[in-house]
Amino acid sequence: MSRLVVISNRVPLPDKSGTAPAGGLAVALQSALEERGGVWMGWSGKSIPSREKPGLNIQEHGKITYALVDLSRKDVDEYYAGFANRVLWPLCHYRLDLTEYARKDMAGYFRVNRLFAHHLAPLIKPDDVIWVHDYHLIPLASELRQMGLKNRIGFFLHIPWPPADVLFTLPVHETIMRGLASYDVIGFQTAHDVENFAGCLKREGIGRELGDGLFEAYGHVFRADVFPISIDTGAFAQAAQNSQRNAMVQRMHKSLGDRDLIIGVDRLDYSKGITNRIEAFEHFITNNPASQGKVTFLQITPKSRSEVPEYEDMQRTVAELAGRVNGAISAVDWVPIRYVNRSIGRNVLAGLYRMARVGLVTPLRDGMNLVAKEYVAAQRSEDPGVLILSRFAGAARELDGALLVNPYDIEAVSNAIARALSMPLEARRERWNQMMPHLLEHDVSRWCTSFLDALAEHGETGKPRQPAGSDQAA
Ligand SMILES: O=P(O)(O)OC[C@H]1O[C@H](O[C@H]2O[C@H](CO)[C@@H](O)[C@H](O)[C@H]2O)[C@H](O)[C@@H](O)[C@@H]1O
Ligand SMILES: O=c1ccn([C@@H]2O[C@H](COP(=O)(O)OP(=O)(O)O)[C@@H](O)[C@H]2O)c(=O)[nH]1
Is 463 part of any domain? no
- For residue 4 and ligand 1, the question of a CB distance below 6 A is answered with no
Residue closest via CA to ligand 1's atom 11 equals: 158
Same structural domain, 258 and 225: no
Can you give the pTM of this predicted structure?
0.95
**Residue 467: per-residue pLDDT:** 45
Look up residue 151 and give its DSSP letter.
S
Residues 224, 308, single domain; the answer is no
Distance 264 CA to ligand 2 centre (A): 11
Is 303 touching ligand 2 by the criterion CB < 6 Å? no
Q: pLDDT value at position 53? A: 78
Please say whether the beta carbons of 375 and 353 come within 8 A.
yes
Ligand nearest to the CA of 265: 2
pLDDT band (50, 70, 90) for residue 460: low
Atom of ligand 2 nearest to the CA of 300: 1
Q: What is the distance between the alpha carbons of residues 336 and 93, in angstroms, rounded to a whole number? A: 30
105 and 241 both lie in a single domain: no
Query: Do the bridges between strand 129-133 and strand 152-156 make them parallel or antiparallel, or are there none, so unpaired?
Result: parallel
- How many whole angstroms from 205 Cα to the centroid of ligand 1? 31
Q: Is 267 in the pocket of ligand 2 (CB under 6 A)?
A: yes
Ligand nearest to the CA of 361: 2
Between the CA of 235 and the centroid of ligand 2 the distance, in Å, is 16
Q: Supply the pLDDT for residue 51.
A: 74
Is the CB–ligand 2 distance for residue 346 below 6 Å?
yes
* 138 and 256 inside one domain: no
Q: Based on the domain organization, do 52 and 167 belong to the same domain?
A: yes
Task: List, by residue number, the catalytic residues.
Answer: 158, 366
The answer, yes or no, to whether residue 468 has pLDDT greater than 70, is no
Please tell me whether residues 214 and 237 are part of one structural domain: no
Domain shared by 261 and 389, yes or no? yes
Identify the residue whose C-alpha is closest to ligand 2 atom 24: 346
How confident is the model over 321-349, as a mean pLDDT?
97
Is residue 474 in some structural domain? no
Instruction: Render pLDDT for 245-268 as a digit per residue (tens, 0 to 9).
Output: 999 999 999 999 999 999 999 999
CATH of the domain at 221: 3.40.50.2000
Q: Phi/psi at 422 (nearest 5 deg)? A: -105, 10
Q: 212 alpha carbon to ligand 2 midpoint, in Å?
A: 33
CA of 171 to the centre of ligand 2 (A): 31
Q: Percentage of residues in the chain with pLDDT exceeding 90?
A: 89
| Position 469 in a domain | no
Helix (H) or strand (E) holding 292: none
Q: Do 358 and 223 sit in the same domain of this protein?
A: no
Are 396 and 260 within one domain? yes
Domain housing 284:
233-441
The finding on whether 343 has its CB within 6 A of some atom of ligand 2 is: yes
For residues 114 and 174, state if they share a domain: yes
**How many domains does the chain divide into?**
2
pLDDT in tens, 124-150: 999 999 999 999 999 999 999 999 999
Q: Is residue 470 part of a domain?
A: no
Report residue 41: phi and psi, to 5°: -115, 145
Are residues 209 and 246 part of one domain? Answer: no
How many helices and strands, by DSSP H and E, does the chain display?
17, 16
Q: What is the ipTM of this complex?
A: 0.98
Confirm if 466 and 415 have CB atoms less than 8 A apart.
Answer: no
As to burial, measured by CB atoms within 10 angstroms (0-12 exposed, 13-18 middle, 19+ buried), residue 190 is: buried
Residues 196 and 288 in one domain: no
pLDDT at 459: 72
Residue 472 covered by a domain: no
Q: How far is CA 311 from the centre of its chain?
A: 17
How far is residue 280's CA from residue 177's CA, in Å, rounded to a whole number?
Answer: 38
Ligand approaching nearest to the C-alpha of 229? 1
